[in-house]
């Protein structure tokens, strides 16, 4: 059965909320990527998310909430978390905080960890769905686990159209890469770069973020070494087009590129285009033909872009 495509209006959101209350899976737009929504308090609904995505059960999920007050009822906020939430919510920041045992979430959400990942999205359709549903909603990227994240409703339908109830069509996502994830215990630590530049977070805190140790296990979503990957092999740091490869350029020095993330070298534009460009090149690639990617500066949103590209190019299990 194919997923129902819902309009981005009050009737569509009411229908989506009804499906969530019935235990169904509904994809919805956020400013970062499309999320796969389910009732975060229902074991059965959350289990369906893992099943639909083919996601490992040890990989925790992000909870989407309408505001800071709702988030405080789910997790314990320290001083750093309060400062970051006040500065960047709603927005492309996820905080990993100590879970309140009385929060009522399915234990599958946190994958057995004592923490929970929380976000307040800055997208009218996401906010409308949360208001219509009236409870916490899990929202991992609405795609098969490990593949390229969806930034349009058509991407969701292509990957999960026969496994979920519906998609709310909110158009292309403005940010285009997943949220930045920060843990605050014992010290503010970058767990995943994303749609909020690290420099902005550090400016807010007045101190650099700690780095996650290379030996650390999975403590937050989006930390698997191979992730966000198209079917074709991805080759990085291609300043010129390799023979026989499709070339994904960045900036004005990439004449002849098959596609260009941003001809002007704008990192915001590049982030918004990244996943759609990888999908389009993957569709164009002949069997065995690789996708070569031009260098992208490793600052601002470039840090998130390069993180996703490194995972896309990592050896597949």
The Cβ of residue 66 has, within 10 Å, a number of other Cβ atoms equal to 21
* CATH 3.40.50.11030, the chain: domain bounds: 234-313
HEC profile of the chain: CCCEEECCCHHHHHHHHHHHHCCCCEEECCCCCCEEEEECCCHHHHHHHHHHHCCCCCCCCEEECCCHHHHHCCECCCHHHHHHHHHHCCCCEEEEEEECHHHCCCCCCCCCCCEEEEECCCCHHHHHHHHHHCCCEECCECCCCCECCCCCHHHHHHHHCCCCCEEECCCCCCCCCCCEEEECCCCCEEEECCCCCHHHHHHHHCCCCEECCCCCCCCCCCCCCCCCECCCCEECCCCCCCCCCEEEECCCCCCCCCEECCCCCCHHHHHHHHHHHHHHHHHHCCCCCCEEECCCCCCCHHHHHHHHHHHHHCCCC
- Placement of tokens 């998310």 in the chain: 49
Q: Residue 77's pLDDT is what?
A: 97
pLDDT at 38 over 90: yes
pLDDT at 30 over 70: yes
Architecture of domain 4-211 in CATH?
Alpha-Beta Complex (3.90)
Measured in whole angstroms, how far is the alpha carbon of residue 261 from the centre of its chain?
19
Q: Residue 217's pLDDT is what?
A: 63
Please answer whether residues 182 and 84 qualify as being in contact, where contact means their C-beta atoms are separated by less than 8 angstroms: yes
How does strand 62-64 pair with strand 137-138? antiparallel
- Placement of tokens 């890469």 in the chain: 177
Q: What is the pLDDT of residues 146-185, one digit of tens each?
A: 899 999 999 999 999 999 999 999 999 999 999 999 999 8
Q: Is domain 234-313 in CATH 3.40.50.11030, yes or no?
A: yes
Using CA atoms, how far apart are residues 265 and 245, in angstroms rounded to an integer? 22
CA-wise closest residue to 127 among 16, 47, 49, 19: 16
91 vs 256, more confident: 91
Q: Residue 249's pLDDT is what?
A: 97
- Placement of tokens 């158009």 in the chain: 171
26 vs 256, more confident: 26
* CATH 3.90.870.10, the chain: domain bounds: 4-211
Q: What is the pLDDT of residues 210-256, one digit of tens each?
A: 987 665 666 676 666 666 788 999 999 999 888 899 999 999 989 89
- Report CA Rg, the chain: 19
Q: What pTM did the predictor assign?
A: 0.91
């Amino acid at each position: 059965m194919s997923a129902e495509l819902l309009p981005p209006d009050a009737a569509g959101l009411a229908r989506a909320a009804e499906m969530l209350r019935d235990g169904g899976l509904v994809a919805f737009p956020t400013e970062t990527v499309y999320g796969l929504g389910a009732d975060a308090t229902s074991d059965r609904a959350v289990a369906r998310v893992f099943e639909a995505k083919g996601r490992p059960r040890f990989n925790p999920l992000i909870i989407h909430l309408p505001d800071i007050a709702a988030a405080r009822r789910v997790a314990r906020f320290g001083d750093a978390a309060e400062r970051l939430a006040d500065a960047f919510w709603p927005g492309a920041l996820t905080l990993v905080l100590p879970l309140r045992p009385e929060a009522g979430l399915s234990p599958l959400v946190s994958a057995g960890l004592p923490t929970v990942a929380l976000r307040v999205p800055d997208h009218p359709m996401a906010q409308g769905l949360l208001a219509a549903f009236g409870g916490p909603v899990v929202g991992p990227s609405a795609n098969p686990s490990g593949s390229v994240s969806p930034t349009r409703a058509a991407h969701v339908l292509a990957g999960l159209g026969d496994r979920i109830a519906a998609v709310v069509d909110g158009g292309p996502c403005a940010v285009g890469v997943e949220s930045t994830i920060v843990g605050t215990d014992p010290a503010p630590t970058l767990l995943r770069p994303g749609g909020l530049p690290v420099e902005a977070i550090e400016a807010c805190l007045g101190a650099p973020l700690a780095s996650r140790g290379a030996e650390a296990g999975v403590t937050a979503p989006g930390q698997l070494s191979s992730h966000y990957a198209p079917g074709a092999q991805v080759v990085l740091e291609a300043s010129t087009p390799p023979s026989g490869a499709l070339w994904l350029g960045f900036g004005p020095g990439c004449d002849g590129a098959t596609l260009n993330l941003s001809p002007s070298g704008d990192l915001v534009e590049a982030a918004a285009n990244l996943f759609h460009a990888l999908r389009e090149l993957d569709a164009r690639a002949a069997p065995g033909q690789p996708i070569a990617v031009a260098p992208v500066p490793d600052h601002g949103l470039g840090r998130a872009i390069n993180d996703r590209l490194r995972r896309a190019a990592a050896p597949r299990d």
